A and B are shown apart, each in its own frame.
Chain A
Amino acid sequence: MARRKFATLKSFLDYIGIEGDRTIFTWVSASEGERFANVIKGVTAKVQALGPATKLVKEL
């Protein structure tokens, strides 16, 4: 069910113009230390490549 929600959320955010690469989703188990590190590295790299998020950000 969560999988279904994220599949539609990612697609919908992309549709309204929030770059699809910003919505990243995966499963990591508590025993997968190395995979967890790789996920975080990968996500950080992707986000850095995209630059700061400016959409849906409220200016105070």
Chain B
Amino acid sequence: MENIEKKLREEAKRLLEEKRVDALVGFEAGTLPLTATPCFITSPEEADRLVWNAFCSQNLAKYVHDLISQHHNSQKRVKPEDRKKKVVGVVARGCTTRSIVLHLQERQYGRDEVTIIGVPCEGYVDRKALTAALDGADIREGSLTGDRLDILTAEGKKEIPLQDVLADNCRTCRFNNPIIHDVMIGEPAPAMPGAVQEYAEVEEFEKLSTEERWRYFTKEMSKCIRCYACRQACPSCYCPTCFVEQTQPQWVGLGEDATDTQVFQLMRLFHMVGRCVDCGSCVSVCPMGVDLRKFLKKLDKDVFDFFGNRAGVSLDDPPPLSTFKEDDKEDFIYNP
């Protein structure tokens, strides 16, 4: 990882010096031990802030979309001949590039507006799992050596194997290396061993009875406080006005009603059909620990089972809901 960080900084510096990117989105060290936070860099001197490690959790494609669409908006009132192009660089692993592929397919920006610095990825630490492994104790100091986390809390020292606290989506990730890139840093990472069981959790859940499934759905959604952090973190949630904020018509009530929350969740989840890349960003930002992945992974599984397609894994595949095949599944159609 050290080596990757060094190359990453060099590459970032070069891109900024040569003015091939106007802004670069990456991660810098967080303010707390064992954290990393997204950062925005516009001058070569700042490149040394960049880090790349197992604490980089968020999907940076979100910010790529934000920056580029803000720029597009700012150019609307400019005379066509005076319009400027802006290129955003991004440090991207497998899932981040899948989101970028999705944005490109959905015509959000052009391939020439984004420069992808590809990095290999072996998964990130699930902060909630780490907190649980420490019984909630605050981390005073911490370091990662190879596959071992050494942590100092008020209770004393503790060693935790990295494998024990990896995020669920990383354990079963099939695409941990960039799908597309302009520059690649380091060697591709080995495949994640759990990838073959990516749908195991969904299959278990499918075996439950309808009532058990409904109980689980309502139990999980009853934790939700409608903070919308999941939506804000999601690279696929980029609508200028989300349906939850629309008032004409008002699709879903804003109060504390449990049904409103279930409907909000159902609708947001369903907007992710063939669009969720399983980056785990929503799960990692959720303050209430709602098990969103249980439901999102089902959408992924169905799209793959029904249409043989996974979100954002190839620029050539059309998005599954914008195309059809003659022999698409139709046994669900009611024929009296």
Q: Which residues of A contact B (CB under 8 A)?
A: 1, 3-12, 14-19, 24-27, 35, 38-39, 41-43, 55-59
Report whether B333 and A8 are in contact in the complex, using a CB–CB cutoff of 8 Å.
Answer: no
The 8 Å CB contact of A8, one of B213, B253, B263, B299, is B299
Docked CA distance A17–B217 (Å): 8
Report whether B273 and A5 are in contact in the complex, using a CB–CB cutoff of 8 Å.
Answer: yes
Residue B307 CB within 8 A of the other chain: yes
Report whether B213 and A7 are in contact in the complex, using a CB–CB cutoff of 8 Å.
Answer: no
List, sorted by A's number, 17 A–B pairs whose CB atoms are closer than 8 Å: A1-B323, A1-B324, A3-B330, A8-B270, A8-B302, A11-B332, A15-B213, A15-B298, A17-B214, A25-B332, A25-B333, A25-B334, A38-B336, A41-B336, A42-B334, A56-B266, A59-B257
Scoring B213, B216, B334 by chain A CB atoms within 10 A of each residue's CB, the highest score goes to B334
Which residues of B are found within 8 Å of A43, using beta-carbon distances?
Answer: 334
A45 nearest CB neighbor, chain B only: B336
Docked CA distance A44–B216 (Å): 29
Which residues of A are found within 8 Å of B214, using beta-carbon distances?
Answer: 16-18, 55
Report whether B334 and A19 are in contact in the complex, using a CB–CB cutoff of 8 Å.
Answer: no
Within 8 A of A (CB), among B214-260: 214-218, 253, 257, 259-260
Interface residue stretch chosen among B83-91, B185-193, B204-212: B204-212
Which residues of B are found within 8 Å of A39, using beta-carbon distances?
Answer: 334, 336
Docked CA distance A14–B298 (Å): 11
Report whether A26 and B334 are in contact in the complex, using a CB–CB cutoff of 8 Å.
Answer: yes
Which residues of B are found within 8 Å of A3, using beta-carbon distances?
Answer: 324, 328-330, 333
Report whether B322 and A6 are in contact in the complex, using a CB–CB cutoff of 8 Å.
Answer: no
Q: Which residues of B contact A (CB under 8 A)?
A: 205-206, 210-218, 253, 257, 259-260, 262-263, 266, 269-270, 273, 295, 298-299, 302-303, 306-307, 320-324, 328-330, 332-336
Report whether A58 and B259 are in contact in the complex, using a CB–CB cutoff of 8 Å.
Answer: yes
Scoring A15, A19, A57, A59 by chain B CB atoms within 10 A of each residue's CB, the highest score goes to A15
B307 nearest CB neighbor, chain A only: A4
Report whether B269 and A12 are in contact in the complex, using a CB–CB cutoff of 8 Å.
Answer: yes
CB-CB nearest 9 A-B residue pairs: A17-B214, A42-B336, A17-B213, A26-B334, A58-B259, A38-B336, A16-B217, A24-B334, A8-B273
Docked CA distance A15–B303 (Å): 14
> Nearest Cβ distance between residue A52 and chain B, in whole angstroms?
15
> Nearest Cβ distance between residue A9 and chain B, in whole angstroms?
7
Report whether B336 and A1 are in contact in the complex, using a CB–CB cutoff of 8 Å.
Answer: no
The 8 Å CB contact of B210, one of A8, A14, A42, is A14
Which residues of A are found within 8 Å of B216, using beta-carbon distances?
Answer: 17
Docked CA distance A1–B230 (Å): 27
Scoring B210, B269, B324, B336 by chain A CB atoms within 10 A of each residue's CB, the highest score goes to B336
> Nearest Cβ distance between residue A20 and chain B, in whole angstroms?
8
B309 nearest CB neighbor, chain A only: A4
Report whether B302 and A12 are in contact in the complex, using a CB–CB cutoff of 8 Å.
Answer: yes
Beyond A12-B270, A17-B216, list 7 extra A-B contacts (CB 8 Å). Answer: A1-B321, A7-B329, A8-B299, A12-B295, A15-B295, A25-B334, A35-B336
